[in-house]
Structures are given as C-alpha cells and as structure tokens.
Chains A and B, each alone.
Chain A
Amino acid sequence: MESILNWISDNQQIIYIVILMIFVGIEVIGRVPSVLHTPLMSGANAIHGVVIIGAIIVMGKAEADNYLALVLGFLAVILGTLNVVGGFVVTDRMLEMFKKKKPPSPKGV
C-alpha cells in the first residue's frame, strides 16, 4: 500500500498530465462530423507515431557491442518512422481531396 502511495506522489506530475490529457483528447474531437472520422483516425494514428522518440533513445543509448539492443532499436526506429511518415502522408492524401472547390455548375449556387 505504502509503495503505491509513494509511487503516486513520486509521479504526480505525470499522473496529472495523463488525467488532463484524457479530457483534452475527448474535448478536442468531441464534435467531429462523421465525414472526417477516417482522416481523423488516420491523423491520430500518425500522432501516436511519437513513439519513434523512444525508439531513437533506445537506439542512441545502445552500446556498440550490444547487438541485440542494436537490432531491437534499429527495427523500432524503422517501424516508428513508417508509422509517422506513412501516417501523415496518408492523412494528407485523404484530406487533399477535401479541398474547398468552387462549385463547377452554376446550378449549385
């Protein structure tokens, strides 16, 4: 029990961030129209690619003779980059099509 309480008070900053972020996340997309569900999901997918930072840290900390860590880190960097780059590019491609255009037919207005 005490160790849990200690852990909470040691990490209270982080716990606050987590709780506040949960509310921000819910609030921020609360009123998204269903048209944007797919691009939003794809955009969120790209954002969690921030895990790449962890991969870079793992890679950068690995000692040169620690092959397992090197391989794990290298794979993680590749996969993370795929997630980030692919995610943002796919989202951009989806959204490119939502560009506001002048209605071509005079009937439309």
Chain B
Amino acid sequence: MELNILTLCYLIASVTFILGLKMLSNPASARKGNLVAAAGMTIAIIGTIFLYESDGQKLHNYGWIFGGLLIGGIVGTLAAKKVKMTAMPEMVSLFNGMGGACAALISAAEFYHIYKLHQDSPGTPFSDIVSVGTYVTIAAGAIIGTISYTGSIIAWGKLNGRVKDFSFKGQHIVNMIVLVLVIIAAVWVYRSNIGDMYIPFLLIGFFALIYGILFVLPIGGADMPVVISLLNSFTGVAAACGGFLYDNKAMLTGGILVGAAGTLLTILMCKAMNRSLTNVLIGSFGAGNKAAGAVAGKSSQGNYKEISLADAAMLMAYANKVMVVPGYGLAVAQAQHTCHELEKILEEKGVEFKYAIHPVAGRMPGHMNVLLAEADVPYEKLLEMEQANDEFKTCDVVLVLGANDVVNPAAKNDPASPIYGMPILEVEQAKTVIVNKRSMKPGYAGIENDLFFQPKTSMLFGDAKKVLQDLCAEVKAV
C-alpha cells in the first residue's frame, strides 16, 4: 500500500515537472509553472523520506536527513533571496554545480556500498558482481556530475570576475587527453578485482574534476550563459543516471527532461547569437582572438566626440522618439530604476520612449528583461530585436547604456571580426546615437566598436546610474 502511494507520488512529480517546464516557457504562466514544479518536488521528497522501502526496509538516519534538508534549505533560501539581480546568472551556475556534486556523491556512495558488500572476497572481479549497464550508469553519474560541478564553479568564478579567461596552445588536445584518461580509468575499474578498484575509481573522479575545469577555462566570459545552460543539461543527465540506478521514475523523468530541454535551450541561446555550439565550445571567441581584436582595433581607431550632459538632455527632451539600448553596463551600475525614471520624465514631455532589447545583452539571455521588469518598466515598451531594428529609422535619439558588442556594426560588415554574423541592433539607422560607457575600453568580446567613431555618434562617459541621474535632472530643467 505505502509503496503504491510512493509510486503515485513519483507519478505526480513527473507530471508536474513536464507541466512546470511547459508553463515556464510562456510569460503569462511562467511563475505558476515554477510553483507547480516545486510542489511536485516537495511531494516527491516527502514521499521518499516516509514511504521509501528497499528490500522491505524503511529508511533510517532521519536525524541526518532532516539535518541536511534543514541546512541546505536555509542556506539555499538565504542565498537565493539575498543575491542581487545582476548576480543571478552566477547563482544559477552555483546551484547547478551543487546538483552536479550531489549526483557525483550518490554515485560514489553507491560504489562504496558495492565495495562494502563484497569486502570479504577482494579477489572477485568487479565485472562478476555488477552488469555493464549498471556500471556504466554509476560511472556516468560520477563523471558527468563531477564535470558539471567543477565546470559550474569555474563558470561562477568567471561571471563574478574571480577567474580570468585562460587558454594555452594545444589546450583542446590536452582536454581530449584528459577525457580519454577518464574513460581509461573507468574501464580499469571494471576490469579490477573488488579489493583494488578504489584507486582507479578515485582517478575517475580526479580526471573528471580536471576536465570540468579545463573544459570551461578557455571559453570567453561572454559565452558563460551558454556554458551554464549546457552544464545544466549535464546535471540533468547525471540525475537521470541516479534514477536508473534506483529504478526511480521521478529522477529519471526529471533528469532526462532537463537534459533534453537544457540541450535545446543551449542551442536556442547559440542561435540568438548566430553561432554554433561547437564554435562556442572550441572557444574561437577566447583569449587569443581578444588580443588579435584589440591590436586590429587600434589601427582603425579614429576620433570620437564627447557630448555634454546638457546637450544630451536637450537632444532627448526635444526628440519625438527616444530608444534605449541597455547592456551589461546598466546591470552593473544597477541603473534600471533611474532609467525608468528618465523614461517617465521624458514621457511627461511627450517623448515616445522605448527599449530595444538584444536577446543576449547583458550576461544572460533575457537578463535585460528581468532587470527592467524589476524597475516596473511595462512589457509593451520592450522591443525585441527585429521590431527594434524596424523602429530605429523613425527614432531621433538612441541612448546606448553600457552595451557594446550587441551594437557593433563589425558583426555585419567585417567578416574578419570574431563576432561576424551575430545579429545586432542597427542603431546607426537612427538620427543620433549617444553612447554611455565608462571608458573607451572594448566590450566583453574584446573588440573595438566602429560605431563609437561614426559622425552620428557621441560619447557620454561615466557610470550609467550617475549619468542617468544627471540626465534626469537636466531634462527636468529643460
């Protein structure tokens, strides 16, 4: 009876995961979808704790289980509540890493369990005890989970600036070698006797740790969202391995669902940047190009002109239509509220005010939407790329706030540019372009932006928030 109820719990959980994901992909139902999935998860967890039986035995160690749940729950809630909107991507990466580590630990524990059971006969070949299929799942859970763990930690470090891009010649070959070593160690375990298999098992973990680090290190910081999404689907697969191990359908469906959806999401993200996944992973965007781009940029550097705050305010106050292109600069400066204020002031003066959102502006797809929504900017004012590109022609002033690569005309004109082919916001179609940046330093892709040197463009240097505050004051005074 109890086991049947548990089966029902898992069934409900699986359905809520599918429903939740479905609802999450529609703006109107997204929030409810998240709650639906969370409810399903709660049912599955509670069901497991109280109803799970293996070989007719209930689970024990309730103190440990609830202790762990309590610690994880409190720390997780606090971290998730405290994190700033700008640091969300890092947080997701960190949580993803935790999931990966959890999957790896489960595999390790299961492995140790097998070892314990057969400790007394150390001469037995491991392959006599465990079938290939089961072993592959244990090993895959350990390997994928570990890679996801270290990879996510590195991605987290890159996003918050603790880890710098790092690559060396022949890195891809080294990566391949490490991956082969992981597989060799895995095969070695299976061919060992029970008594001496833990050394190769530790080697699996060790090489997988290294691989996770090497895999993410050379990829440019701007591509981290794609990498996080990919690691996210990795963790999904690792969770599914656990589901296979325990013949647990909720883990299996949840894991595979995320594995598949995550992979598709990764591809969609790449598409938004008009790049292929291989291109991102091989890292042609990496440090090597950064240097080359900077050098090439120097030679073409012309003169840029600066605009004073008063002039900029004047231009905008007398414009019919102003569009803002927000970027990472807006996010770091936490300037979304001030930006909304400027919007209100200008609208009182009869200026049409809109936002042009590049799908990959900021550090994550949708990053800008989240930020602006936080500042209560209504939906209708946020234009997606195609729409925005149609409207730039009728626009008097475009204010670029800390965005760079997403408005770089090199993506259209210069086949040699590393971002060539990425769809951009064609701001140069507007009558005037005002670019707010902190300095003339190149953006995340590390390449110069010709836009800044065009006659239409004027630069307005300074921190986005400070500049916007001053602009608000100036516009009010006009």
Contacts and interface: CB of A to CB of B under 8 A. Distances in A.
B433 interface: no
B81 A89 contact: yes
Question: DSSP class of A's interface residues: helix, strand, loop or mixed?
Answer: helix
B109 A69 contact: yes
B38 A88 contact: yes
A95 B20 CA distance: 13
B400 interface: no
Given A35-B369, A87-B95, A51 B238 contact: yes
A44 B244 CA distance: 19
A12 B71 CA distance: 39
Contact of A46 (B34, B64, B81): B34
Contact of A51 (B251, B265, B365): B251
Given A37-B364, A50-B17, A77 B250 contact: no
B27 interface: yes
Contacts of B98: 79-80, 82-83, 86
Contact of A3 (B62, B77, B116, B131): B131
Nearest to B254: A50
A76 B102 contact: yes
A56 B65 contact: yes
Contacts of B113: 58, 61, 69
Contacts of A14: 244, 247, 252
B25 A28 contact: yes
B77 A89 contact: yes
B99 A32 contact: no
Interface in A45-68: 45-62, 64, 66, 68
A90 to B, nearest CB: 4
A59 B347 contact: no
Contact of B68 (A10, A50, A81): A81
A29 B21 contact: yes
A56 B49 contact: yes
Interface residues of B, number: 123
Contacts of A81: 68-69, 71-73, 76
A43 B34 contact: yes
B4 interface: no
B269 A37 contact: yes
A67 to B, nearest CB: 11
A58 B364 contact: no
B30 interface: yes
A50 B27 contact: no
A39 B37 CA distance: 13
B24 A98 contact: no
Q: Is the interface of B mostly helix, strand, loop or mixed?
A: helix
Given A34-B366, A92-B31, A50 B251 contact: yes
Contact of B92 (A45, A57, A107): A45
A107 B365 CA distance: 29
B176 interface: no
Interface in A75-109: 75-101, 103-105, 107-108
Given A44-B21, A45-B96, A83-B96, A50 B30 contact: no
A78 B383 CA distance: 42
B413 interface: no
A22 to B, nearest CB: 4
A64 B369 CA distance: 50
B116 A99 contact: no
B170 interface: no
B255 interface: yes
A31 B45 contact: no
B312 interface: no
Contacts of A39: 24, 30, 34, 366, 370
Interface in B88-113: 88-89, 91-92, 94-96, 98-99, 101-103, 105-106, 108-110, 112-113
Contacts of A29: 21-22, 24-25, 261, 264-265
Contacts of B357: 35
7 contacts: A3-B132, A4-B132, A17-B252, A53-B44, A64-B61, A83-B96, A86-B98
Given A86-B95, A91-B34, A98-B31, 10 more contacts: A24-B18, A25-B258, A36-B25, A38-B365, A43-B37, A46-B34, A53-B248, A58-B110, A83-B99, A98-B369
Interface of B: 13, 17-18, 20-22, 24-28, 30-31, 33-35, 37-38, 41, 44-45, 48-49, 52, 54, 58-62, 64-65, 67-69, 71-73, 75-77, 79-81, 83, 88-89, 91-92, 94-96, 98-99, 101-103, 105-106, 108-110, 112-113, 116, 131-133, 225, 228-229, 232-233, 235-236, 238-240, 242-262, 264-265, 268-269, 272, 344, 347, 357, 359, 364-367, 369-370, 373-374, 376, 378-382, 384
Interface of A: 3-4, 7, 10-11, 14, 17-18, 21-26, 28-62, 64, 66, 68-70, 72-101, 103-105, 107-108
* Nearest 5 A/B pairs, CB to CB: A81-B72, A60-B59, A25-B260, A77-B68, A86-B76
